Amino acid sequence: MHANIVVLPGDGIGPEIVSATLPVLEAVAARHGHSFSFQEHDIGGIAIDRHGEPLPASTLEAAKNADAVLLGAVGGPKWSDPNAKVRPEQGLLAIRKGLGLFANLRPVRPHAAALGASPIKSELLEGVDIVVVRELTGGIYFGDKTRSATDASDLCRYTVAEIERVVRSAAALARSRRGHLTSVDKANVLETSRLWRDVAARVVREEFPDVTLEHQLVDSMAMHLLSRPRAYDVIVTENMFGDILTDEASMLAGSLGLLASASLGDGKVGIYEPIHGSAPDIAGKGIANPYATILSAAMLLRHSLGLEAEAAAVEAAVSSALDDRVFTADLAPAGQAVDTTRAAQAVIERLR
């Protein structure tokens, strides 16, 4: 097949991890008789520098017309003045919203070889296989904001339709896995959470009677995620809770540098990006972990291009590189780390 992939390297380590990942996609294409074209565009801080805005219209337009979007990361100290009118993160939020990508899938599957890198005891991690489905285009991220000299506010708002569609995506995913869905909210305090809980219960009861639904409060969920991670299959939650819980969940896998994500909507085009940020502290050194971006590219092959065998091949190749302890600095004991390019090369060598 031919696919047109829009590439948004962004800021910090974004360009390094993305340019390490493109050769992996090229190798997959060569091996399976596909041709992928890559069209690079600006987003985030670099877009502010070059175009005066974090999401230029040309970038959004290209993304809308693409088969899929591969994104690195946005943000950095250069643009992080809290009083700045435009910030890199606004570009990321705007492209998610602009493409209608309401469901953000973040798989958490600790790899045996990397268990030692996790601060959690290995015996709690074996067999952990979770997908967090984070609502991505609503809630407090997108509500009205106010700021005066003496106060500030962020509105958290959800509509029934917004909750229904993301719960449906998550329940359908649970049905294809172990049939267990955990919906996370703060229904003991927040009105949006009480609506969330009601809607989740109804959608699952009416449309997914074969899926078991459990409700959890976000504070105790934060604890259970570390104390009994094996108990979870698919977790669905609102935007900000999902943001926080998935950084926490990355510690189950041993490194933030291993967690991939797919942002999906009703259409075929999705955005695929690692869940980590632009890591300005290590940017430009060529030492960032490319596996999360490579695993995001695998999700791109699966969800936007329908290439399941190719996606599985990339995932197996990353697994095999990890088995062989091809570790970047976030995973390796001091002195034993490989650089970004070498890690990506190891994946390419292991592709079948």
Please give the positions annotated as active site. 141, 186, 219, 243, 247
Which single residue brings its beta carbon nearest to Mn ion? 243
Strand partners, 70: 7, 272
In whole angstroms, the minimum distance from the beta carbon of 250 to Mn ion comes to: 9
Number of shown-chain residues binding ligand IPM (CB under 6 A)? 6
**Cβ nearer to ligand IPM, comparing 221 with 317:** 221
Among 139, 184, 129, CA closest to 159: 139
In whole angstroms, the minimum distance from the beta carbon of 244 to ligand IPM comes to: 9
Among 292, 308, 338, 336, CA closest to 14: 292
Strand partners, 180: 212
Q: Is 275 in the site for ligand IPM (CB under 6 A)?
A: yes
> Alpha-carbon torsion 332, 334, 340, 341, what sign?
negative
Token pair, residue 293, equals 């971006």
Strand partners, 182: 214, 235
The entry of Mn ion, ligand IPM, none near residue 117 (CB within 5 to 8 angstroms by kind) is: none
Token pair, residue 331, equals 């995973």
In whole angstroms, the minimum distance from the beta carbon of 242 to Mn ion comes to: 9
Residue 100 φ/ψ region, left for φ over 0, alpha for ψ in the -120 to 50 degree band, beta for the rest: left
Q: DSSP secondary-structure letter at 278?
A: -
Answer whether 95's CB lies under 8 Å from 198's CB.
no
Among 336, 259, 330, CA closest to 294: 259
The entry of ligand IPM, Mn ion, none near residue 92 (CB within 5 to 8 angstroms by kind) is: ligand IPM
Query: In the range 243-262, which residues lie near ligand IPM by CB under 6 A?
Result: 243
**Cβ nearer to ligand IPM, comparing 169 with 250:** 250
Residue 227 carries which side chain, given as an amino acid letter?
Answer: S
Q: DSSP secondary-structure letter at 325?
A: T
For 161, list phi and psi in degrees, rounded to 5: -65, -40
Here's the x/- map for Mn ion, 203-242, by CB under 5 A: it reads as ----------------------------------------
Rg (CA), the chain: 20
Answer whether 292's CB lies under 8 Å from 274's CB.
yes
**Cβ nearer to Mn ion, comparing 14 with 56:** 14
In whole angstroms, the minimum distance from the beta carbon of 243 to Mn ion comes to: 4
Which single residue brings its beta carbon nearest to ligand IPM? 89
Angle subtended at Cα 171 by Cα 169 and Cα 177, rounded to the nearest 5 degrees: 110
In whole angstroms, the minimum distance from the beta carbon of 97 to ligand IPM comes to: 11
In whole angstroms, the minimum distance from the beta carbon of 75 to ligand IPM comes to: 6
**Cβ nearer to ligand IPM, comparing 15 with 115:** 15
Residues in the chain: 352
* Choice from 22, 277, 293, 326 touching ligand IPM (CB under 6 A): 277
In whole angstroms, the minimum distance from the beta carbon of 92 to ligand IPM comes to: 5
**Cβ nearer to ligand IPM, comparing 6 with 92:** 92
**Cβ nearer to Mn ion, comparing 162 with 243:** 243
Here's the x/- map for Mn ion, 235-264, by CB under 5 A: it reads as --------x---------------------
Answer whether 7's CB lies under 8 Å from 70's CB.
yes
The SS3 of residue 102 is coil
**Cβ nearer to Mn ion, comparing 136 with 314:** 136
Number of shown-chain residues binding Mn ion (CB under 5 A)? 1
d(CA 194, CA 188): 8
The entry of Mn ion, ligand IPM, none near residue 75 (CB within 5 to 8 angstroms by kind) is: ligand IPM
Query: In the range 68-97, which residues lie near ligand IPM by CB under 6 A?
Result: 75, 89, 92
* Binding positions for Mn ion, rule: CB under 5 A: 243
Which residues lie near ligand IPM (CB under 6 A)? 75, 89, 92, 243, 275, 277
